[in-house]
Amino acid sequence: MNSTTTTDLIADSAYPISATGQFDSNPPTDSPPPLLQVTQLARHYPLPRTQLFQPPQQVKALQGVDFTVAAGHSLGIVGESGSGKSTLARLVMALDTPTAGAVHLLGRNLHRLPAAELRHARRDFQMVFQDPYGSLDPHHPVERIVTEPLQAQGATSRAEQREQAAQALAQVGLRSTDLGKYPHEFSGGQRQRIAIARALITRPRLIVADEPVSALDVSVQAQVLNLMLDLQQQFGITYLLISHDLAVVNHLCGEVLVLYQGRIVERGTPQELFHHAQHPYTRALVNAVPRIEPGRARARRTLMAGKAPRPMV
């Protein structure tokens, strides 16, 4: 699309052009360049055409999203379903093409890389999905699942892959004897550890985690969140954590973006959002986190009793 390219150029022109006229991917700043830089990112999806002579309507899933993440830090993205969280994850992972805007990882515009280079660059960014039952192929042993990113990168020997897989499993607290087992032999929490091992095996700089603990039991959720913290301290991994749960984000991230209808409506530390939320949606989100508050319902019901009951038809 022509319009795409034009908008893309406008977005890119926010970067300084060096004296030679060449595009300078490392704008001079006081601090080191961010690991991940997202500029004016937008994604529109066309709806099915309803009228023959009119252009189809569009859903603006994401509009004008800007943020940067420094290496070794974590950014949380919160929002309700349909707010564009997963679209953002897909764009950062270069699994989808933006309508406008750019994603720079380590200074490279991911959506402008030739296919071969993008494939090679993928070792730097990996993803952990929500459902460890759906994201691991039940027909493959753990070894094949965990080494698949290495195979996609090509050119390492089988023995070397096996050793790296054993190492990745050890990092997430599983045993190398687990390599020959199949996903159904593991519990939900262990499966999520396998998914994390698969993401770790290419030694990525960035891990995009889309609701990594929401399918897990509470006691196991804590184990996986602790593991993610430990791995960050050990390897300096940067997380882009997508969640609907403000408490989970608070635990892992120093900064949070609140997405609402495809736009960033608020950003700050979890504490700032918790205490001084500005946007009404953020306030609703903070208030909706269930707290330990015995007797709230009874208090509500006593209130209710004062009201005249609605007549039943």
Residues that bind other proteins (CB under 8 A): 80-81, 187-190, 217-223, 225-226, 229, 233, 244-248, 250-251, 254, 269-271, 274-275, 281, 284-298, 300-301, 304-305, 309-310, 312-313
Residue with smaller CB distance to other proteins, 72 or 141:
72
Distance in angstroms (rounded) separating the CA atoms of residues 192 and 90: 19
Q: CB of 311: closest distance to other proteins in angstroms? A: 9
Report yes or no: 43 and 53 within 8 Å, Cβ to Cβ. Answer: no
Please report how close the Cβ of residue 63 comes to other proteins at its closest, in angstroms.
20
- Nearer Cβ to other proteins, position 18 or 187? 187
Identity of the residue, 12 or 178, whose beta carbon is nearer to other proteins in the bound complex? 178
Alpha-carbon distance of 12 to 9, in angstroms, equals 5
Asked whether the CA dihedral 181, 182, 184, 189 is positive or negative, the reply is positive
* Shortest reach from residue 263's CB to other proteins, in Å: 17
Q: Are 63 and 42 in contact (CB under 8 A)?
A: yes
* Cβ nearer to other proteins, comparing 117 with 185: 185
**Least separation in angstroms between CB 246 and other proteins:** 6
Query: Least separation, in Å, of the C-beta of 217 and other proteins?
Result: 4
Beta 58-69 vs 36-46: how paired, if at all?
A: antiparallel
Nearest-10 crossing angle of helices 188-200, 158-171: 130
Q: Which residue, 147 or 250, has its beta carbon nearer to other proteins?
A: 250
> In which residue are the tokens 């190398």 written?
176
Helix (H) or strand (E) holding 225: helix 218-235
Backbone angles phi, psi at 135, to 5 degrees: -95, -5
- Judged by beta carbon, residue 33 or residue 188, the one nearer other proteins is 188
How near is the Cβ of 199 to other proteins at its closest, in Å?
20
